Amino acid sequence: MVGGVQHRQAGAGQRYDVFHADCPARDLVDHVTSRWGIWVLISLRSNDLRFYELRESIQGISEKMLAQTLRALVQDGLLRREVEPTTPPQVTYGLTEFGRDVGEPLTELFDRITRRLSAGGEG
């Protein structure tokens, strides 16, 4: 914060102040860590999937919530959306390089949790 004004954009080599409500990085973090965002990123870690494949792999998500989550993650630059001009159109989603970078620690967290649960939670 400089002179009481929060700057939305960080200069080269500077960091955003994510604790301020108007920080653009904060929206991205909210999308990634949303109830469904993390599952979309983990689901796409190995390969690209179509909308219906994502819906089937993420149990409990509605089509509406999946569509909203995908839209936000595409706008954030974490996912790419490819549309094949067929009838009906076939839409495939995949991680961008940025999405892979962001998703990697989430996948590691998921893997650590599942290993811990598989081991009976000892330790």
Query: Alpha-carbon dihedral of residues 15, 31, 78, 37, nearest 10 degrees?
Result: 140
Q: What is the predicted pLDDT for the residue at 13?
A: 55
Tally Cβ neighbours within 10 Å of residue 38. Answer: 18
Query: pLDDT for 21-60, tens place per residue?
Result: 888 888 888 889 888 999 999 999 999 999 999 999 999 9
**CB of 54 closer than 8 Å to CB of 71:** no
Interhelix angle 63-75/24-32, nearest 10 degrees: 140
User: At residue 8, what are phi and psi to the nearest 5 degrees?
Assistant: -75, -35
- Calculate mean pLDDT across residues 53-76: 96
Q: What is the predicted pLDDT for the residue at 82?
A: 97
Using alpha carbons, list the distances in angstroms from residue 62 to 9, 52, 98: 35, 11, 26
